[in-house]
Chains A and B, each alone.
Chain A
Amino acid sequence: MVIRGLKALALMLVSGAMFAPAQAQTVDVRMAYIQWVPDPGPILSNVIPEPEDAGLRGAELALADNQTTGKFLGQNYQLATALADSAESATQRFAEMQSQGVRLFVTNLPAATLLALTRLAEPDTLIFNAGAKDDSLRTEHCSANLLHTIPSYAMLTDALGQWLKQRQWEEVFLITGPTDADKHWASAFRRASKRFGLEIVQDRLWTFDADLRRTASKELPLFTQGADYDAVVVADVRGDFGEYVPFNTWLPRPVVGTQGMSPVAWHRVVESWGAAQLQNRFRELASREMNSEDYAAWAATRSIGTAVTALGKVDPKAIRDFLFSDGFQLAAFKGRKLTYRDWNGQLRQPIPLVHPRGLVARAPFESFLHPDTTLDTLGFDRPESACRING
């Protein structure tokens, strides 16, 4: 198992738990993970399917990480999981678990379902959003019970906007898909282009419904005809047509956005700052690569673990207070300590910009300044958000 090709004669396995110093008593930490991902409908580019347990596996890994720490401190973590098949059943499972006394929830749910949960939440319930990227959850529909570990669309597109600016590729051709999510992503990008001084020289909706696997090379060059541009930006959140844009543009230009080079919370190519170890642990647990939803669920579950380790108790109100205090910092393999924004509960974090087989760069970039933390150059800063969840 652990040792290979050795003389195991004198081997003794010493369990840390057995010899950990006596603790006052065992603390039980009850957590729950709830997931419902609506069917995205038929997808043209379905060659590489997305994993169905995205998020869940990240929470499971963090549970194991918490447990290892907990065994030295007399803390026992539990994670109840619910993979729901509708918004109603997700909401119902939440209500059931809450009535059984669970107060710490990690979720991968659409924004509307999440808001339904916050309406049912007890005053001391804490919900981590590890799935919904909607900016409205960070700018207007905030809740004191709701924290976000998944980056918002604005954080992702600001990362991309900074990158385009510092490459001086300032004139872009924007293609937006037909779904609501595509439109949210695109309006976040439009905001980023204003913030960082980019110019959207073409702004087009994708309306074709032909099968691009046969005709991409014919259709896309025509679709991307236009005056000169430096890059093509694609807003295709579910991955329907976007995979067919690279190498099929009218002008020889790079493709960025939801396909091509993408801003993400996490990706298999991230390896610095100890990330290689997290990737290895995840691969061993899930037999696949860790993605952004896994990372967000991991960060949420680890936030709980980090708070419980520091506090030595599971009072959810104390955990919430600690998460917003100066004492909290999440070590999350991104090269900087991560903290929560006190106005809207969003986890600040660097954003990797990746292509399928490599890391291109990491936002924020040095030339974009901020009086408090350069991480707040990504997403809605305090003055831009109506939320004040901590008063």
Chain B
Amino acid sequence: MKPFLKTTLMASLIGLSAPAFAGLAYVSNEKDNTLSVIDTETHEVVETIEVGKRPRGILLSKDYTRLYICASDDDTVQVLDLATRKIVDTLPSGEDPEQFALHPNNKHLYIANEDDAIVTVVDVTNKDVLAQIDVGIEPEGMAVSPNGKWAVNTSETTSMLHWINTETFKIEKNIVVGQRPRHVEFTNDSRIAWASAEIGGTVHIIDVDSLEQIHEMSFKVPGVNQDRVQPVGIELTSDGKYAFVALGPSNHVAVVDARTYEVLDYLLVGARVWQLDLDKDEKYLYTTNGVSGDVSVIDVEDLKVIKSIKVGRYPWGVVIDPSS
């Protein structure tokens, strides 16, 4: 009995020291200059990693070995090695990088330079800057379609979606949307793009073949002043069933039927909910809540908030490593 206990204890100790065994979520803390690492089974913060100044957008390399971090006030993109959790490299990013998107080729990183009205394209393998593309004022959201054809940038003060051809790095279409567009999310088949407009209070559904808007949604959270309903992050389930829309200072996440665009529910989360990510089984949705400094965990099947996890100050982005 006794030796057996000892072995299990040892095994669990080994388990703790080898983080790759647990599912992991990474959260950028804008005002703490850190990343919080959350174990997605226990829903606890297991490590806090110091990174560059004002970390905002974060994303995983397509092989899940590296995490790219926009260190906005350092004017750089940092590269975190996930095995060692050390910053191993930096990329030229242009000034004040806020959000970015990686092309499916795992090479071309599209970075929105908020202060310069420019999108910078960097080859992450050799750090070549491939292009700098003039866009509207305060470029913010960046997305690349899963088929790799389009890169889309949102410019907040210009209120446009700029559609960039990923072969020529040229803008082919500008679509005016609601005020302060923040985020773009493509469906897996690259046919539909969802774009949020924070001040407009709207989400715009764009047909990618025609590059025309096919639907515009707005939100009404019961008991919340309409001014505070500000869509930001969007996450789509891969089965095409749900879209989740973070509604900023309304402190709610909208659950939307992704086929009919009907709002099914509003879930109360932390204060100023910003970005969202699903875990690999799409069982849980994680939200960053900037003002309350925590992450809410939503059970996708029950559509219920099951936990909030305290992280650093002003959590901004969240990504979950599906390989972990």
Interface residues of chain A, those whose CB is within 8 Å of chain B, are 2-17, 19-21, 65, 68-69, 72-73, 274, 277, 280-281, 302, 306, 309-310, 329-331, 335-337, 373-375
Known: A69-B137, A329-B179. A11 touches B132 (CB 8 A): yes
> In the bound complex, do residue B137 and residue A65 qualify as a contact, i.e. CB atoms below 8 Å apart?
yes
> In the bound complex, do residue A309 and residue B116 qualify as a contact, i.e. CB atoms below 8 Å apart?
no
> In the bound complex, do residue B137 and residue A280 qualify as a contact, i.e. CB atoms below 8 Å apart?
no
B192 contacts the other chain (Cβ, under 8 Å)?
no
Q: Which residues of A contact B179 (CB under 8 A)?
A: 306, 329-331, 337
| A40 CB to nearest B CB, Å | 34
In the assembled complex, 29 residue pairs joining A and B whose CB atoms fall closer than 8 Å, in A order, are: A2-B95, A2-B116, A2-B120, A3-B94, A7-B129, A8-B129, A9-B128, A14-B132, A14-B171, A16-B135, A17-B134, A19-B172, A21-B173, A69-B136, A69-B137, A72-B136, A72-B158, A72-B160, A274-B156, A274-B180, A277-B114, A280-B115, A281-B115, A306-B179, A329-B200, A336-B199, A336-B227, A374-B225, A375-B227
How many angstroms between the C-alpha atoms of A34 and B49 in the bound complex?
52
Q: Which residues of A contact B95 (CB under 8 A)?
A: 2
Of all A-B residue pairs in the complex, the 4 with the closest CB atoms, nearest first, are A6-B92, A16-B134, A331-B199, A69-B158
How many angstroms between the C-alpha atoms of A374 and B224 in the bound complex?
11
How many angstroms between the C-alpha atoms of A375 and B201 in the bound complex?
17
Q: Which residues of A contact B174 (CB under 8 A)?
A: 20-21, 72-73
Q: Which residues of A contact B115 (CB under 8 A)?
A: 277, 280-281
> In the bound complex, do residue B92 and residue A5 qualify as a contact, i.e. CB atoms below 8 Å apart?
yes
Known: A16-B135, A375-B227. A68 touches B117 (CB 8 A): yes
Question: Which residue of A has the minimal Cβ distance to B126?
Answer: A7
| Residues 164 to 216 of chain B near chain A (Cβ within 8 Å) | 169-174, 176, 179-180, 198-201
Question: Which residue of B has the minimal Cβ distance to A281?
Answer: B115
How many angstroms between the C-alpha atoms of A6 and B128 in the bound complex?
7
> In the bound complex, do residue A12 and residue B131 qualify as a contact, i.e. CB atoms below 8 Å apart?
yes
> In the bound complex, do residue B172 and residue A21 qualify as a contact, i.e. CB atoms below 8 Å apart?
yes
How many angstroms between the C-alpha atoms of A331 and B130 in the bound complex?
32
> In the bound complex, do residue A2 and residue B96 qualify as a contact, i.e. CB atoms below 8 Å apart?
no
CB-defined interface of B68-106 with A at 8 Å, one 1/0 digit per residue? 000000010000000000000000101110000000000
How many angstroms between the C-alpha atoms of A3 and B117 in the bound complex?
13
| B221 CB to nearest A CB, Å | 14
> In the bound complex, do residue A10 and residue B227 qualify as a contact, i.e. CB atoms below 8 Å apart?
no
B33 contacts the other chain (Cβ, under 8 Å)?
no
* Chain B interface extent, by class: 35 or more
Q: Which residues of B contact A17 (CB under 8 A)?
A: 134
Question: Which residue of A has the minimal Cβ distance to B117?
Answer: A68
How many angstroms between the C-alpha atoms of A15 and B131 in the bound complex?
11
B113 contacts the other chain (Cβ, under 8 Å)?
yes
Query: Which of B114, B157, B169 sits near A69, CB closer than 8 Å?
Result: B157
Q: Which residues of B contact A72 (CB under 8 A)?
A: 136, 158, 160, 162, 174
Q: Which residues of B contact A15 (CB under 8 A)?
A: 134
| A25 CB to nearest B CB, Å | 17
> In the bound complex, do residue B132 and residue A373 qualify as a contact, i.e. CB atoms below 8 Å apart?
no
| B130 CB to nearest A CB, Å | 5
Query: Which of B117, B170, B180, B227 sits near A14, CB closer than 8 Å?
Result: B170
How many angstroms between the C-alpha atoms of A69 and B96 in the bound complex?
20
Q: A19-B171, A277-B138, A331-B159 are in contact. List 17 more A-B contacts (CB 8 A).
A: A2-B94, A3-B94, A7-B127, A9-B128, A12-B130, A14-B131, A14-B133, A14-B169, A15-B134, A16-B134, A16-B171, A69-B136, A277-B115, A329-B199, A331-B198, A337-B200, A337-B227
| A29 CB to nearest B CB, Å | 15
| B308 CB to nearest A CB, Å | 21
How many angstroms between the C-alpha atoms of A15 and B132 in the bound complex?
9
Q: Which residues of B contact A21 (CB under 8 A)?
A: 172-174
How many angstroms between the C-alpha atoms of A274 and B160 in the bound complex?
17
| A61 CB to nearest B CB, Å | 10
| B220 CB to nearest A CB, Å | 15
| A383 CB to nearest B CB, Å | 20
> In the bound complex, do residue B130 and residue A10 qualify as a contact, i.e. CB atoms below 8 Å apart?
yes
| B157 CB to nearest A CB, Å | 6
> In the bound complex, do residue A309 and residue B133 qualify as a contact, i.e. CB atoms below 8 Å apart?
no
Known: A7-B129, A12-B169, A373-B227. A69 touches B159 (CB 8 A): yes
Question: Which residue of A has the minimal Cβ distance to B120?
Answer: A3
How many angstroms between the C-alpha atoms of A19 and B168 in the bound complex?
11
How many angstroms between the C-alpha atoms of A65 and B249 in the bound complex?
26
Question: Which residue of B has the minimal Cβ distance to A15?
Answer: B134
Q: Which residues of B contact A14 (CB under 8 A)?
A: 131-134, 169-171
How many angstroms between the C-alpha atoms of A69 and B132 in the bound complex?
18
Q: Which residues of A contact B176 (CB under 8 A)?
A: 73, 309-310
> In the bound complex, do residue A335 and residue B201 qualify as a contact, i.e. CB atoms below 8 Å apart?
no
Q: Which residues of B contact A20 (CB under 8 A)?
A: 171, 174
B228 contacts the other chain (Cβ, under 8 Å)?
yes
> In the bound complex, do residue A274 and residue B132 qualify as a contact, i.e. CB atoms below 8 Å apart?
no
| B297 CB to nearest A CB, Å | 26
| B127 CB to nearest A CB, Å | 6
B118 contacts the other chain (Cβ, under 8 Å)?
yes
> In the bound complex, do residue A331 and residue B156 qualify as a contact, i.e. CB atoms below 8 Å apart?
yes
Q: Which residues of B contact A10 (CB under 8 A)?
A: 123, 128-130
How many angstroms between the C-alpha atoms of A280 and B54 in the bound complex?
15
> In the bound complex, do residue B160 and residue A16 qualify as a contact, i.e. CB atoms below 8 Å apart?
no
How many angstroms between the C-alpha atoms of A309 and B158 in the bound complex?
9
Q: Which residues of B contact A306 (CB under 8 A)?
A: 159, 179
| A68 CB to nearest B CB, Å | 5
How many angstroms between the C-alpha atoms of A271 and B151 in the bound complex?
29
Query: Which of A3, A280, A330, A335 sits near B92, CB closer than 8 Å?
Result: A3
